[in-house]
Amino acid sequence: MDEAKNKTNQAVTPGPALTRREWLLSLGSAVVLSGFRGVPEEAAQEAHASLILPPGLYRPSLDHLTDALSSDGPFVSAQPGARTEYVRPRSGPFVPQAFAPNEYAVVRRLVEIILGEDLKNSSAKPAVGAPASIYDEVAGWIDLVVSSAPAVRKLARNLPADQRSLAVAYFGNEEPVLQVETFEPERICRDGLAWLGEESRRRFAKGFLDVDASSQTELVQAISDARADRSTTHGGTRLFDFLKEETVRGFYTSRQGLKELDYKGNSFYGQSPSCGLPASDPE
């Protein structure tokens, strides 16, 4: 603690630029020394504001930090001077960027089937400007993943050689890097939705959204992990694999999913919280 106090006190006096590690340590000490009660004390904020940062690193305001952490709603009001892109309430209906309206309706229905119908019984009411349901929120996430994929691939392919080597070393092999460079979810969705529509018309003489719920479930089971022959792959199975992964990711990073997990992150603690299990004697 004494060392942390010294670091913060020294930060008030102009000096050489801090390293990233020193800056992060000083941010933590400023919060701890303030006895964090929701809003850091003025002295800690002044010390934090006087830090000299390395090139390319900007300083988050503790005002912004405490405002975000104290908010229970889906939206955080942007503080003056904030450089963070906050999620904004929608002023109109959601407009998908990666899918045509009829395609997006199919994706949303598939999300509904994957997550399960029971989530429709949630008593939680959406905030004004927020997605109408968790199904809409997750479908919107999938649209974002697909629409941003071309730009992500381009950036990955244009990484300088030294940065690409660093990424390979971080993952331990080249496969994850190649995955980012070559993954085309837009093609997977295009081919998969086409397969689903054709198969629905072949079986039921109707499009996917025009058949009843039991027929939709039958079609999804034919491409899911529960299908009879797991060795068979085609556009439909690849679509299901992609949607399943992103549906799970989208749900468990949403407020509702984090609440279901009883996630305790994104919070400041005066001391490390326990896991709730009784302490065991060291052997």
| Every domain of the chain and the residues it spans | 2-69, 101-261
Average pLDDT estimate for 41-61: 59
Please give the pLDDT value at position 237: 97
Band (164; pLDDT cuts 50, 70, 90): very high
Higher pLDDT, 30 or 219: 219
Q: pTM value?
A: 0.68
- Name the residue among 103, 73, 107 with its Cα closest to residue 88: 73
Q: pLDDT higher for 110 or 73? A: 110
* Run of H or E including 190: helix 185-204
Percent of the chain with pLDDT over 70: 59
Q: Of the segments 36-40, 79-83, 126-130, 223-227, which one has the largest average pLDDT value?
A: 223-227
What tens digit of pLDDT does each residue of 10-43 get?
444 444 454 545 544 454 544 444 444 444 455 5
Q: What is the pLDDT of residue 190?
A: 98
For the chain, give the mean pLDDT.
Answer: 78
Angstrom CA distances, 239 to 37, 71, 185, stand at 47, 36, 9
- The residue behind tokens 């919107």 is 140
Q: Token pair for residue 97?
A: 């960027």
Q: Which residue has the higher pLDDT, 246 or 28?
A: 246
* Cα separation of the two ends of the chain: 30
Average pLDDT over residues 186-206: 98
- pLDDT score of 254: 87
